[in-house]
Structure 1
Amino acid sequence: MNQPAQPVASTIEILRKLVSFDTTSRHPNAPLIEWIGDYLKAHGVPFTLSRGPEDGKWNLHAILGTQGAGGLAFSGHVDCVPVDGQNWSSDPFTLREQDGKLYGRGAADMKGFVAAMLAAIPRWRRQRLDKPVHLLITFDEEITCNGARYLMDDIIGRGLRPELCVVGEPTMMTPVIAHKGRLALRVNIVGRAAHSSHPEQGANAVHAMGRAIAIVADEAERFAREGLRVDGFSPPYTTMQAGLASGGAILNIVPEKASFDVEWRCVPGDKASQELARLQHFFEPFDEALRQHGPECGFFYEPLVDLPPLALSQDHPLTELVRQVTGSNQAGFVSYGTEAGIYQQAGMASIVCGPGDIAQAHKPDEWIATSQLERCDDFLQEMVRRICVLS
């Protein structure tokens, strides 16, 4: 049984506690959320929980100051990627400090930012807040980002939507104002089994998959050759690929089933839904050929991830403010996705800025520099001072 959380002010101490919870996305995050809830209660901070359809997975929304809409939100997810098969030099769920680095799963992505959010609370509580400070903590960012969707449905339903949002993914404390969207789905193909000596009696699902994957490769080349260019991204165009693929059971049986995963990472301006419709149009002849063997045959589409892009203007006041507070000369673009696109779509002007390096995320011996956490501590305090504190 977890011990009750105690009021602590150190970002590193809180990070040590957060890392100790195995919140790999396949596990519930409820024990960690309960600990955070106890911490908030100890500091007199009201909060609400919301959940999705899966037991044991919770979002948390806390508000400091006026309990209302507007103001500034800081957002972080607390799920992390697995450590299975990775060669860690120490226990990934025990924070280890060495040479100015803090090692542990989720230290960079992104429990370090969440720890800094929580550590800032005692100081914020002593300030006179003219506008609310919202803390958003979500689940399942690493797999679907649906936690953020459920959270925004809850917040908007209660009339508590913040005006501005900082998502603390690891950017080395430099502002990111745009990222690509991501659409991923699984294409399940059903044919008809037969003995390989009589292939005319079956419908080969693997062959259909091969033809479909060839079209995916052609489409990927089309994007690279003539797709919409958006300067700032690397690469500056929409990308797509077929990833996981499987099918068949044994060589002397015409395979009845096959499946493959396909994803798009779209620059702002390209619509993933339109690209999906285009791909399905190309697949129609293969689909129709299989359906001649029965209504149970054909191509079937299973959505996996639908993450909108982020596009905040260079001239937006939030962009300029984060530049000033971080001392950055410019705001960047990245090709990976975050929850910021969901928040922007829900009506919050959103930017990505947080401690640590994305290059360290998801790897064995994931780490974050203590100097990055110190910069984050200062950043959070200054953002609140400039936006939410009475002058």
Structure 2
Amino acid sequence: MDLLYRTEELLGELIAFPTVSADGNLDLIAWAANYLKDLGAICDVTLDETGHKANLFATFGPEGDGGLVLSGHSDVVPVEDQEWSSDPFVMDDREGRLYGRGACDMKGFIACVLAVAPRIAEWPLTRPVHIALTYDEEVGCFGARALVEDLRARDIRPAMAILGEPTMMRVINGHKGCYEYTTHITGCAGHGSAPDHGVNAAVCAARYAGRLMELEGELRTRAPEGSPFSPAWTTLNIGRIHSGHAHNVIPDHAEIDWEMRPVQRSDAEHVLAEIDRFAEEMLPAMLSVHSEVAITREVIAETQGLHPVKDSEVATIVSALTGANGLDVVAFGTEAGLFQSLGMDCVVCGPGSIEQAHKPDEYVSRDQLSACLHMLQGLEKHLT
């Protein structure tokens, strides 16, 4: 069977699984595990603590360390409040483009990997090839975090990883991290005419936000020399501040949603240490009015960045197979930093454009799938 045609068939099946992060991915994982088991892969399925989501880690070839991971996340973003021209969970073929939720982010890559899997099963591998499908990338990379910890606990150490996020088959060897937080401020309600009798959570939130913006200014001066990113420094953003109910009521609660995208871990450590110290300095004045006030910083997600490395074997291999003239960095985050933390040499390279991700009428082109298939098939000479 023509490999591209088979990829399209598999992509249609993958899109038909509505694996929105909030709803789980068990049906897709069970289907993929059965498919790979039938080809002779050793498959490990691990559930999350809810039992509604799972990772799949499948292995072809010899046991032991080294080898290559081909990784993709199985979850997709919601389609509610989006205007699609066709059913988002039924693949639509139009003018060389295959439409559907997850088509490029990132079921197109997964379909390519599954289409090539029967050939991988027949390669005389001298190093293992692993296929990893994770959950909850879209809401914090929780599946990849669990997978990396599981591999660490089992003392499994792959040498390389290709993460197939949509890059138009450009070879990406770096991206910033993404750290997201919600700070909750508990004050003491009261009448607006007697401000000294309450603890105004909105005012506290404004002071906290002001300190964040001071730190944002400091980060601009901390850009590493030769930083490949744009902007070159760690960025900090306040996305939402919520507090209060009426003009004349002292609000007793406030929330601040904020994020930073560090180019280096030391920037994140600096920001967190400084903002937590600032919160501690605010508390005595608040406690002098009421004993049950609090400032708590909730971690929503802490996704590590992918740090460019010199003399990368996987970058050399993938660049040769794709014809790339150089390596790039991107602004969006991936699971690659988590794999890198286990000692893997990682690149991000996959079919489709990030410009299509998360949008209505998401698509991947046949040309991009063909290019990905060419790259995956070319791995044989590097692994046998």
What TM bracket, shorter-length normalisation?
over 0.9
Alignment partner, residue 17 of structure 2? 21
Correspondence 1:97-108 to 2 at 5 A: 97-108=93-104
Q: 1:126 aligns with which of 122, 125, 131?
A: 122
Check 1:97–1:229 CA distance in 2 against 1; reply closer, same or farther (3 A cut).
farther
CA contact (8 A) 1:313 1:319 kept: no
CA shift for structure 1 position 219: 2.3
Alignment of structure 1 residues 145-156 onto 2, 5 Å: 145-156=141-152
Which residue identity does 1:304 align to in structure 2? I
Deviations 1:268-322 (A, max 9, x none): 3643122211122233333332222334212111111111111132422222222
214-223 or 171-180: which moved more?
214-223
Query: Is 1:290 matched up with 2:286?
Result: yes
CA distance in 2, matches of 1:126, 1:316: 27
Give the deviation of 1:217 after TM superposition. 2.2
Where do residues 191-340 of structure 1 align in structure 2 (5 Å cutoff)? 191-224=187-220, 227-268=223-264, 270-340=266-336
Query: Which residue of the partner structure matches residue 357 of structure 2?
Result: 361
Query: In the TM superposition, what is the alpha-carbon distance from 1:77 to its structure 2 partner?
Result: 0.3
1:20-56 per-position Cα deviation (integer Å, ceiling 9, x unaligned): 1111111111011111122123323220111222221
Aligned residue identity for 1:91: D
- Alpha-carbon distance in structure 2 between the residues aligned to 1:294 and 1:18: 55
Supply the AA of the counterpart residue of 2:382: I
Q: Alpha carbons of 1:185 and 1:39: their partners in 2 closer, same or farther (altered >3 Å)?
A: same
Asked if the contact 2:92/2:100 (under 8 Å) is kept, the reply is yes
Contact 1:243-1:262 within 8 A present in 2 as well = yes
- 1:388 maps to 383
Contact 2:199 2:290 in 1 (8 A): no
Q: What CA distance in whole angstroms lies between the structure 1 residues aligned with 2:110 and 2:378? A: 17
Paired with 2:31 and 2:382, the residues of 1 have a C-alpha distance of: 29
Q: 2:83 aligns with which of 87, 102, 110?
A: 87
Please, which moves more after superposition, 184-193 or 38-47? 38-47
Query: Residues 164 and 350 of structure 1 are in contact (CA less than 8 Å); yes or no, is this contact kept in structure 2?
Result: yes
Measure how far apart 1:225 and its partner are: 5.2
Instruction: Give the 4+ runs in structure 1 shifted more than 6 A.
Output: none
Change (3 A) 1:78 1:230: farther
Shift in Å, 1:113: 0.7
Aligned-CA RMSD value? 1.7
Give the whole-Å Cα distance in 1 for the aligned partners of 2:131 and 2:114.
9
| Alignment length (residue pairs) | 381
TM-score (norm 2): 0.95
SS of 1:119's equivalent in the other structure is: helix
Per-residue CA distance 1:111-136 (angstroms, 9 max, x = gap): 11111111111111222111111001
Contact 2:313 2:345 in 1 (8 A): no
Per the alignment, residue 76 of structure 1 pairs with 72
Whether contact under 8 Å (1:209, 1:260) holds in the other structure is: yes
Aligned partners of 1:166, 1:119: CA distance in 2, in Å?
Answer: 16
Output the TM-score relative to the length of structure 1. 0.93
Cα distance in 1, alignment partners of residues 55 and 9 from structure 2: 22
Structure 1 254/285 Cα, relative in aligned 2: closer, same or farther at 3 Å? Answer: same
Distance across 2 between alignment mates of 1:376 and 1:95: 19
Structure 2: state its 5+ residue gaps. Answer: none
Asked if 1:56 is matched to 2:55, the reply is: no
Matched, 1:348 2:344: yes
Q: Which residue of 1 aligns with 2:110?
A: 114
CA distance in 1, matches of 2:218, 2:155: 44
Is the CA contact (8 Å cut-off) linking 2:40 and 2:60 kept in structure 1? Answer: no
List per-residue Cα deviations over 1:325-361 (Å, max 9, x = no partner): 1111110011221111001111111111111111111
One-letter amino acid of the structure 1 residue matched with residue 59 of structure 2? I
Q: Which whole-Å CA distance do the structure 1 matches of 2:147 and 2:265 have between them?
A: 26
Contact 1:9/1:119 (<8 A) preserved:
no
Q: 1:85 corresponds to which letter in structure 2?
A: D
Percent same amino acid at aligned positions?
Answer: 38
Cα deviation for residue 230 of structure 1 reads 4.3
C-alpha displacement at 1:250, in angstroms? 3.0
Q: Which runs of 5 or more residues in structure 1 are unaligned?
A: 1-7
SS in 2 for 1:76: strand
User: What does 1:150-189 correspond to in 2, within 5 Å?
Assistant: 150-189=146-185
Q: 1:10 aligns with which of 6, 22, 32?
A: 6
| Residue aligning to 2:31 | 35
Q: Does the Cα contact within 8 Å between 2:303 and 2:337 map onto a contact in 1?
A: yes
What do residues 90-111 of structure 1 show as CA deviations (whole Å, max 9, x unaligned)? 1111111111111111111111
Residues 228 and 270, structure 1, Cα contact 8 Å, conserved in 2: no
Q: Partners of 1:19 and 1:288 in 2: how far apart?
A: 54
User: For residues 370 and 225 of structure 1, what CA distance do their matches in structure 2 show?
Assistant: 44
Q: Please give the secondary structure, in 2, of the residue aligned with 1:271.
A: helix
Q: CA deviation at 1:73?
A: 0.8
Once the two structures are superposed, residues 232-282 of structure 1 have per-residue CA deviations (whole angstroms, 9 ceiling, x without a partner) of 211111100111221123333210000111111011364312221112223
CA distance, structure 1, for counterparts of residue 248 and residue 100 of structure 2: 48
